[in-house]
Amino acid sequence: MRALLVGLFALALVTQAAAAASSGTPSSTSKTTSSPSPRESTTSGPAAKTKRTRALSLDERLDRKLTAVRRARSTIRFFESHPGPLRAERTRTRARASLRAARGRLTRLEESADRLQAAIDRRAARRLAKMSPRAAICEVFERYCQAAVAVAWCESRLSTSAQNGQYLGLFQMGEQARRLFGHGPTAHEQAVAAHRYFVRSGRDWSPWSCGWAAT
Protein backbone atom coordinates (compact mmCIF):
# COMPACT_ATOMS: atom_id res chain seq x y z
CA MET A 1 0.00 0.00 0.00
CA ARG A 2 2.81 2.39 0.83
CA ALA A 3 4.41 1.74 -2.57
CA LEU A 4 1.09 2.52 -4.23
CA LEU A 5 0.77 5.81 -2.36
CA VAL A 6 4.30 6.83 -3.28
CA GLY A 7 3.59 5.99 -6.91
CA LEU A 8 0.42 8.06 -6.89
CA PHE A 9 2.24 10.95 -5.29
CA ALA A 10 4.93 10.78 -7.96
CA LEU A 11 2.23 10.92 -10.62
CA ALA A 12 0.79 14.05 -9.01
CA LEU A 13 4.17 15.74 -8.97
CA VAL A 14 4.66 14.96 -12.67
CA THR A 15 1.23 16.42 -13.43
CA GLN A 16 2.05 19.50 -11.40
CA ALA A 17 5.33 20.00 -13.24
CA ALA A 18 3.57 19.76 -16.59
CA ALA A 19 1.02 22.32 -15.48
CA ALA A 20 3.72 24.71 -14.35
CA ALA A 21 5.52 24.37 -17.67
CA SER A 22 2.35 25.00 -19.62
CA SER A 23 1.46 28.09 -17.60
CA GLY A 24 4.69 29.70 -18.62
CA THR A 25 6.37 29.46 -15.18
CA PRO A 26 10.14 29.43 -15.70
CA SER A 27 12.09 26.55 -14.24
CA SER A 28 14.41 27.32 -11.36
CA THR A 29 17.11 25.27 -13.11
CA SER A 30 16.90 27.18 -16.40
CA LYS A 31 20.11 28.82 -17.52
CA THR A 32 20.13 32.55 -18.00
CA THR A 33 19.88 33.41 -21.68
CA SER A 34 23.01 35.16 -22.80
CA SER A 35 22.75 38.61 -24.32
CA PRO A 36 23.26 38.80 -28.07
CA SER A 37 26.56 40.13 -29.29
CA PRO A 38 26.61 43.53 -30.97
CA ARG A 39 26.95 41.75 -34.31
CA GLU A 40 23.87 39.64 -33.62
CA SER A 41 21.79 42.58 -32.36
CA THR A 42 22.34 44.54 -35.55
CA THR A 43 21.58 41.66 -37.90
CA SER A 44 18.70 42.41 -40.20
CA GLY A 45 17.09 41.13 -43.35
CA PRO A 46 15.05 37.99 -44.22
CA ALA A 47 17.40 35.61 -42.41
CA ALA A 48 17.11 37.54 -39.15
CA LYS A 49 13.33 37.85 -39.45
CA THR A 50 12.86 34.10 -39.70
CA LYS A 51 14.62 33.70 -36.35
CA ARG A 52 12.30 36.01 -34.49
CA THR A 53 9.60 34.39 -32.41
CA ARG A 54 6.10 35.25 -33.60
CA ALA A 55 4.05 36.97 -30.93
CA LEU A 56 1.14 34.85 -29.79
CA SER A 57 -2.33 36.15 -30.56
CA LEU A 58 -4.86 36.75 -27.79
CA ASP A 59 -6.70 33.58 -28.81
CA GLU A 60 -3.54 31.48 -28.69
CA ARG A 61 -2.59 32.90 -25.30
CA LEU A 62 -6.06 32.16 -23.96
CA ASP A 63 -5.91 28.61 -25.32
CA ARG A 64 -2.61 28.01 -23.52
CA LYS A 65 -3.95 29.44 -20.28
CA LEU A 66 -7.05 27.24 -20.45
CA THR A 67 -4.89 24.18 -21.07
CA ALA A 68 -2.85 25.06 -17.97
CA VAL A 69 -6.09 25.60 -16.01
CA ARG A 70 -7.26 22.09 -16.89
CA ARG A 71 -3.94 20.61 -15.79
CA ALA A 72 -3.94 22.47 -12.48
CA ARG A 73 -7.48 21.28 -11.83
CA SER A 74 -6.38 17.75 -12.69
CA THR A 75 -3.65 17.94 -10.05
CA ILE A 76 -6.12 19.18 -7.44
CA ARG A 77 -8.65 16.46 -8.33
CA PHE A 78 -5.89 13.87 -7.99
CA PHE A 79 -5.17 14.85 -4.41
CA GLU A 80 -8.89 15.08 -3.61
CA SER A 81 -9.47 11.58 -5.01
CA HIS A 82 -6.28 10.08 -3.54
CA PRO A 83 -5.71 11.71 -0.13
CA GLY A 84 -3.20 9.05 0.93
CA PRO A 85 -0.08 11.11 0.15
CA LEU A 86 -1.55 14.02 2.12
CA ARG A 87 -1.84 11.80 5.21
CA ALA A 88 1.19 9.53 4.99
CA GLU A 89 4.03 10.69 7.21
CA ARG A 90 6.68 10.26 4.51
CA THR A 91 4.86 12.23 1.82
CA ARG A 92 2.44 14.60 3.46
CA THR A 93 4.79 17.62 3.66
CA ARG A 94 5.56 17.61 -0.05
CA ALA A 95 2.04 16.57 -1.00
CA ARG A 96 0.42 19.39 0.94
CA ALA A 97 2.89 21.89 -0.51
CA SER A 98 2.12 20.61 -4.01
CA LEU A 99 -1.61 20.94 -3.41
CA ARG A 100 -1.25 24.50 -2.11
CA ALA A 101 0.89 25.40 -5.11
CA ALA A 102 -1.64 23.90 -7.52
CA ARG A 103 -4.51 25.83 -5.93
CA GLY A 104 -2.55 29.10 -6.03
CA ARG A 105 -1.54 28.48 -9.63
CA LEU A 106 -5.15 27.73 -10.57
CA THR A 107 -6.33 31.02 -9.09
CA ARG A 108 -3.69 32.97 -11.00
CA LEU A 109 -4.38 31.14 -14.25
CA GLU A 110 -8.13 31.69 -13.99
CA GLU A 111 -7.64 35.41 -13.35
CA SER A 112 -5.29 35.66 -16.32
CA ALA A 113 -7.71 33.72 -18.55
CA ASP A 114 -10.55 36.05 -17.52
CA ARG A 115 -8.47 39.09 -18.50
CA LEU A 116 -7.60 37.57 -21.87
CA GLN A 117 -11.25 36.68 -22.53
CA ALA A 118 -12.28 40.24 -21.68
CA ALA A 119 -9.70 41.57 -24.14
CA ILE A 120 -10.99 39.22 -26.84
CA ASP A 121 -14.56 40.34 -26.15
CA ARG A 122 -13.52 44.00 -26.45
CA ARG A 123 -11.76 43.26 -29.73
CA ALA A 124 -14.87 41.53 -31.07
CA ALA A 125 -17.05 44.45 -29.97
CA ARG A 126 -14.78 46.90 -31.81
CA ARG A 127 -14.94 44.79 -34.96
CA LEU A 128 -18.73 44.55 -34.81
CA ALA A 129 -19.08 48.28 -34.15
CA LYS A 130 -17.13 49.07 -37.32
CA MET A 131 -19.23 46.82 -39.56
CA SER A 132 -21.12 48.38 -42.42
CA PRO A 133 -24.94 47.98 -42.26
CA ARG A 134 -24.94 45.44 -45.10
CA ALA A 135 -22.13 43.36 -43.57
CA ALA A 136 -23.74 43.45 -40.11
CA ILE A 137 -27.14 42.39 -41.45
CA CYS A 138 -25.64 39.51 -43.41
CA GLU A 139 -23.58 38.29 -40.45
CA VAL A 140 -26.66 38.25 -38.20
CA PHE A 141 -29.31 37.01 -40.64
CA GLU A 142 -27.03 34.55 -42.47
CA ARG A 143 -29.15 32.68 -45.06
CA TYR A 144 -31.81 35.38 -44.84
CA CYS A 145 -29.18 38.01 -45.66
CA GLN A 146 -30.51 39.19 -49.03
CA ALA A 147 -34.11 39.44 -47.84
CA ALA A 148 -33.06 41.29 -44.66
CA VAL A 149 -30.93 43.76 -46.62
CA ALA A 150 -33.85 44.39 -49.00
CA VAL A 151 -36.21 45.08 -46.08
CA ALA A 152 -33.69 47.37 -44.33
CA TRP A 153 -33.03 49.27 -47.57
CA CYS A 154 -36.76 49.84 -48.03
CA GLU A 155 -37.23 50.85 -44.40
CA SER A 156 -34.22 53.14 -43.87
CA ARG A 157 -31.95 53.12 -46.93
CA LEU A 158 -29.55 51.22 -44.65
CA SER A 159 -29.14 54.17 -42.28
CA THR A 160 -28.64 53.41 -38.59
CA SER A 161 -29.77 56.94 -37.70
CA ALA A 162 -32.98 56.91 -39.74
CA GLN A 163 -36.06 58.04 -37.79
CA ASN A 164 -39.75 58.29 -38.61
CA GLY A 165 -41.66 59.30 -35.51
CA GLN A 166 -41.21 56.50 -32.95
CA TYR A 167 -39.55 54.22 -35.52
CA LEU A 168 -35.76 54.12 -35.48
CA GLY A 169 -32.77 52.57 -37.16
CA LEU A 170 -32.09 50.18 -39.99
CA PHE A 171 -35.32 48.25 -39.54
CA GLN A 172 -37.44 51.14 -38.23
CA MET A 173 -38.44 49.33 -35.07
CA GLY A 174 -41.01 51.04 -32.84
CA GLU A 175 -40.87 51.70 -29.11
CA GLN A 176 -42.48 48.43 -28.04
CA ALA A 177 -40.34 46.35 -30.40
CA ARG A 178 -37.18 48.06 -29.15
CA ARG A 179 -38.23 47.45 -25.56
CA LEU A 180 -38.78 43.75 -26.28
CA PHE A 181 -35.90 43.01 -28.65
CA GLY A 182 -33.32 45.71 -27.98
CA HIS A 183 -31.67 48.50 -29.93
CA GLY A 184 -28.34 50.28 -30.15
CA PRO A 185 -26.33 52.82 -32.12
CA THR A 186 -24.40 50.32 -34.26
CA ALA A 187 -25.58 48.43 -37.31
CA HIS A 188 -24.79 45.12 -35.61
CA GLU A 189 -26.87 45.91 -32.52
CA GLN A 190 -29.82 46.98 -34.65
CA ALA A 191 -29.51 43.88 -36.84
CA VAL A 192 -29.45 41.62 -33.76
CA ALA A 193 -32.61 43.28 -32.41
CA ALA A 194 -34.38 42.93 -35.76
CA HIS A 195 -33.34 39.29 -36.02
CA ARG A 196 -34.83 38.56 -32.59
CA TYR A 197 -38.08 40.14 -33.77
CA PHE A 198 -37.88 38.18 -37.03
CA VAL A 199 -37.37 34.85 -35.22
CA ARG A 200 -40.10 35.57 -32.65
CA SER A 201 -42.47 36.27 -35.57
CA GLY A 202 -41.83 32.81 -36.98
CA ARG A 203 -39.21 34.03 -39.47
CA ASP A 204 -41.90 36.14 -41.08
CA TRP A 205 -41.39 39.68 -42.43
CA SER A 206 -44.99 40.73 -41.86
CA PRO A 207 -44.16 42.95 -38.81
CA TRP A 208 -42.40 45.34 -41.23
CA SER A 209 -44.31 47.56 -43.62
CA CYS A 210 -41.55 46.80 -46.16
CA GLY A 211 -41.87 43.07 -45.62
CA TRP A 212 -42.94 42.74 -49.25
CA ALA A 213 -39.37 43.66 -50.27
CA ALA A 214 -38.12 40.32 -48.93
CA THR A 215 -40.04 38.35 -51.58
Percentage of residues in the chain having pLDDT higher than 90:
69
Average pLDDT, the chain: 83
Q: What is the mean pLDDT of residues 137-154?
A: 97
Among 33, 116, 32, smallest CA distance to 67 is for 116
**Alpha helices, DSSP H, located in the chain:** 2-22, 38-41, 46-51, 58-81, 84-87, 92-129, 133-141, 145-156, 175-181, 187-200
* 32-65 tens-digit pLDDT: 444 444 444 455 555 555 555 678 999 999 999 9
Mean pLDDT is lowest, of 17-26, 44-53, 135-144, 174-183, for: 17-26
* Sign of the dihedral defined by the CA atoms of residues 125, 129, 132, 138, in that order: positive
Let me know: does 170 contact 137? Beta carbons within 8 Å: yes
Q: What is the pLDDT of residue 54?
A: 77
Residues 144, 198 contacting (CB under 8 angstroms): yes
Is 18's pLDDT higher than 50? no
- Cβ(172)–Cβ(162) below 8 Å: yes
- pTM (2 decimals)? 0.58
Question: All domains of the chain, ordered by start, with CATH?
Answer: 2-24+58-129 (no CATH), 133-214 (1.10.530.10)
Residue 160 CB coordination number (10 Å) = 19
**Dihedral, CA of residue 106, residue 111, residue 59 and residue 15, to nearest 10:** -10
Give phi and psi for 118, each to the nearest 5: -65, -40
Q: Are 122 and 88 in contact (CB under 8 A)?
A: no
Cβ atoms 191, 140 nearer than 8 A: yes
